[in-house]
Structure 1
Amino acid sequence: MEEFEVSDASKKTKTIYISTIFSITLVLLMLGMLGLILVHAKNLSNYVKENIVLNIIVDEGAKEADVLQFQKELNANPAIKSTQYVNKEIAAKNLTQDLGEDFVNFLGYNPLLSTVDVYLKADYANNKSIDALKAQISKNPAVKEVIYQSSLIDMVNQNINTISLIILAFAVILLVISVALINNTIRLAIYSQRFLIKSMQLVGATKNFIRKPFVLVAALHGLIAAIIAVIILLGILYYAQKQIPEIIILRNYTEFGIVLLSMVGIGIFITAISTALSVSKYLRLKIYDLYR
C-alpha cells in the first residue's frame, strides 16, 4: 500500500514537472518570436532606409575623371553607405532594355545624363541630414542637380516610427504577461508541495536549506524549457527561410544570438526567483493556513 502511494506521488510530481516545463516553454517561445520580430523590424527599417536613393545628375561638361574623383570623395563621407556611377551610355542601355526598343536610334542622339546614385546609412536617411548633404554636394562643379523624394522619406520615417512604437508597446505587455504566467505556473507547482516544505521546516531544516533544492530544480526546468523553446524557434526560422529566402538579408547573427541567450536567461532567472518567493511564502505560513 505504501509503495503504491509513493509511486502515485512520484507520478504526480513528474506530471507537475512536465506541465511546468511545457508551460514555460510556450511562454519563452512567444518571447523569443517577439524578440526576433523586434530585431527583424529594426533591420528591415535600416534596409528600407539604406535603399532610398539620391540621384546626383552630373553636369554634361564634366570630365569622367573628375566625376570618378568626386565619387571617391562621396564614398569617404560618413553619412554615405555606397555610391554607383552610371554614365549616360549605361543609362541609355538600361532604359532601352526597360522600354524594349532603341530610343537613341529613334531620336538620333542620347538625351540622358550621367548620374551618381547615392545610398545613405540608415541614421542619415532623413530630410534634415539629406538637405545638409545636398547643400554640400551641390557645391561641386561636376554636379548639375541633386534629386530625391522628400515626401517619400518623410512617409517612410513616420511609418517606421509608428510601427516601432506599436511593436514596443506590444512587447512590454507580452513581457509582463509572460512573467505573470511563469510565476503562476511555478506557484501552482510549489503549492502542491507545501506540506513537504512545512514538514522539512518542522524537523529543523533552515530556510535556505529548504529553498536551495527547489530553486535549483526550478532553474534546471527553466533551462530545459529554454533549450526546447530555442530548438523550436530555430526550426520555425529554418522553415521560414526555406519559404522566404530573402529573409536572410535581415539576419544579424549577433542580435539573433542575444535573443536566444535572453530566452535562456529569462527562463532560468524567472523560474528561480518565482520558486524562491513561493517557497518563502509557505515557510512563513502557519500549519493551519496550508489547508486554505
Structure 2
Amino acid sequence: MTQVQSKASMKRSKPSYVLSIIGVALVLIILGILGWNFLNVRKVSKVLRENIQIHAWLTTGNQKAVDSVQNYIKAQPYVKSWEYVTKEKAKAIYNKDGNESWDKILNENPLPESIDFFANSEYVQKDSLLKIAADLQAKFPGVISEVQYPAELVVTITDRSRKFGIAFLILALMLSIVVIVLIDNTIRLAMFSNRFLIKTMQMVGATRGFIAKPMNIRAVINGLISSVIAIGAIWAMILWIESYVPDMKALRDPMNYVILFGGIVLIGVGISLYSTHRSVMKYLKMKLDELY
C-alpha cells in the first residue's frame, strides 16, 4: 500500500462527527424544551401562591397594639411582604373595586382595620396557613379577630401543582430514558466507522488508555458543541415565545436557567463521554474478524 493510499484509508476511517453532534443537539433540544416547561409550571405555581393575600383583621385601633402585631408579623420567616390597612385605606380599596359608597347612609366607616400580608410560596399550604392563623390569634387575643384567606383556592393550587408535578416527573423520566438511548446510539454509530483504526492502534502496541484518551477528549468537545447548539436553540425559542407572549417574561428566573442549561451541558457531555468510552472498550475487546 502506498503512502497516499494509506493516508486515504486513514481519512476514510475517521468518524464523521458532524452528524453525531447535530443528532445529540436535537435530542438535547427536546429534553431542554421539556425542562423549560417543567420549570415554568413550578414558577407559575410559586407566583400564584405568593399572590394569595392573607388578612389579619384587627378589632382595635389602639396604635400600640397595632404596632405590636405589625412588628410580630414582619419578623416571621413566612412573610414576604406586608401592609397595614387603615379604615380610610380600606374604604378607598372598597370604592376602587367599583362598590357603591355608603357615605349617604352611614356616618361611620364599618370596615375594620387589618394587616395584610403575602406569604412565601412554601408556606402557602393548607396546614401551614392553619398553623399561621392559629398562632396569630393565640398570640394576640382580643386584637386579631380573624385571619382570612381564600382556603379553597389554596387547596386547588396545591392539588393541581402536585398533579402537574407528578405528570411532568413521569414524562421527564420516560424522555430521559429515550434521550439516553438515542444519544448512546448516535455516538455508537459515529464510533462504528472508527473501529478498524482502534483495532489497528491496539495491534501495533498502543495501550487502552493511549487509544481511548484522544477519543474521550473528542467526545467531551463534541458534547460541549452539541450542548451549546441546544442551548442557543432553546434560548432563541424562549425569546421568540416571549415576543408573542410578553407576560412570559415575568416567569424568568436566572436560577432556573442555570439549572436548565447546566443540566443540558452535563447530560450532553456525560452521555457522549460514556458512550464513546464504552464503544472504544467494546472494539478493543473484539477480535479482528468480529469487526467485519
Q: TM-score, normalised by structure 1?
A: 0.88
Question: Shift of residue 10 of structure 1?
Answer: 4.7
* Structure 1 residues 100 and 154, CA gap change in structure 2 (3 angstroms): closer
**2:193: which partner in 1?**
192
Confirm or deny: 8 A CA contact 2:202 2:211 kept in the other structure: yes
| SS of match in other structure, 1:105 | coil
Structure 2 CA distance for aligned equivalents of residues 12 and 190 of structure 1 = 10
Structure 1 residues 278 and 87, CA, compared in 2 at 3 Å: closer, same or farther? same
Q: Secondary structure at the match of 1:77?
A: coil
Report the alpha carbon displacement of residue 43 of structure 1 after superposing the two structures with TM.
2.5
The structural deviation recorded for 1:156 is 1.4
Correspondences of 1:3-152 after superposition (within 5 Å): 10=11, 16-59=16-59, 61-99=60-98, 101-105=100-104, 107-139=106-138, 140=140, 141-152=142-153
Gaps in structure 1 of 5+ consecutive residues: none
**Structure 2 counterpart of 1:207:** 208
Aligned AA for 2:256? E
Q: Report the more deviating stretch, 269-278 or 148-157.
A: 148-157
Tell me if structure 1 keeps the 8 A contact 2:61–2:113.
no
The 1-side partners of 2:91 and 2:74 are apart by: 25
User: Match for residue 174 of structure 2?
Assistant: 173
AA aligned opposite 1:273: Y
CA distance in 1 between counterparts of 2:221 and 2:107 reads: 78
**1:11 deviation in Å?**
7.8
> Which residues of structure 2 form unaligned runs of 5+?
none
Question: What do residues 47-90 of structure 1 show as CA deviations (whole Å, max 9, x unaligned)?
Answer: 2222222222221x422453243122101112222222222222
> Which moved further from structure 2: 190-199 or 98-107?
98-107
Distance of 2:265 and 2:118 partners within structure 1: 38
User: What SS does the aligned partner of 1:138 have?
Assistant: helix
Displacement after TM superposition at 1:168 (Å): 1.1
Instruction: Give the CA deviation at 1:180.
Output: 0.8
Q: CA, structure 1 residues 100+144, in 2 after alignment: closer, same or farther (shift >3 Å)?
A: closer
- State whether residues 96 and 103 of structure 1, in contact with CA within 8 Å, keep that contact through their aligned partners in structure 2: no
How many angstroms does 1:149 deviate by? 2.6
Between the two proteins, the alignment pairs up a number of residues equal to 289
CA RMSD, Structure 1 to Structure 2 (Å): 2.6
- The one-letter amino acid paired with 1:20 is S
> 1:118 offset after TM fit, Å?
2.3
SS in 2 for 1:289: helix
Contact residue 13 and residue 193 of structure 2 kept, 8 A = no
Do 2:13 and 2:194's aligned partners in 1 also have CA atoms closer than 8 Å? no
Q: Distance in 1 between matches of 2:97 and 2:12?
A: 71
**Matched residue, 2:159:** 158
Deviations 1:142-201 (A, max 9, x none): 222222232222221111111111111111111111111110001101111212222222
Cα contact 1:38–1:167 (8 A) shared by 2: yes
Q: Distance in 2 between matches of 1:237 and 1:167?
A: 19
Q: Is the 8 A contact 1:57 1:146 kept in 2?
A: yes
Q: Is the 8 A contact 1:62 1:142 kept in 2?
A: no
Residue 180 of structure 2 contacts residue 271 of structure 2 at CA under 8 Å; is this kept in 1? yes
The answer as to whether partners of 1:45 and 1:160 remain within 8 angstroms in 2 is yes
